[in-house]
Copies of this chain bind each other. A is one copy, B any other.
Amino acid sequence: MIPLSKSRKKGLIIILSAPSGTGKTTISNEIVRLLPGIKHVVTTTTRPPRKGEVDGVNYFFVSESEFKRRIEKEEFFEWAKVHGDYYGTPRKFIEESVKNGIDVLLTIDVQGGLSFKKEKPDSVLIFIAPPSEDVMKQRLYGRGTEDEKAMKKRIKTAEMEMTHIKDYDYWVVNDVLEKAVDEIKSVVIAERRKVKRFPPGRKRS
């Protein structure tokens, strides 16, 4: 008889990417709320904390000089400068979680997702697509926080990103939120049951 040992296995790295206005923040919060054994990757940033944001929960807040030091020490899987602030994905946080059998969920742009997959080929890449271009535009305009020019740029970026669905492992359409969340949950549960990842004798439960 094959031993069905209960030894805890390595966690999964789940990467969610989506064009702006596709609802990836809502979705990723729902996944972590509903699915045991998975947690958000906390990003490191030089952006000052907003009201209510907690260090180590929403972000790891560091100074710019500290951030640059970490870049040089290759402490980030990937990092980017957005509107003058730095954002980085801390290597240690992910590696320790995974080693301890905790799945980590990372929302990251398409470019980041693809470079992540290169470095960690067994990460699971999930693309969240808007149901249509119209819906995406409505959602973006609905925010009302940006001018026409910025909006056009976002839409162009979204269109570029959509051409990379083919490089992802799974894709989900965010038409009905509950359905999209359920589908992504299912992907995580299914990946946990893959023979190639967790062969018998190395049961995960």
Contacts and interface: CB of A to CB of B under 8 A. Distances in A.
B4 A132 contact: yes
A4 B131 contact: yes
Nearest to A184: B193
For chain A, which range describes its interface: under 10, 10 to 19, 20 to 34, or 35 or more residues? 35 or more
A159 interface: yes
A194 B163 CA distance: 16
Count identical subunits in the complex. 2
Interface string A170-205: 111101000000110111011111110001100101
Contact of A162 (B166, B171, B186, B200): B200
B162 A195 contact: no
Given A4-B132, A189-B182, A200 B166 contact: yes
Interface in A114-169: 127, 129, 131-133, 159, 162-163, 165-166, 168-169
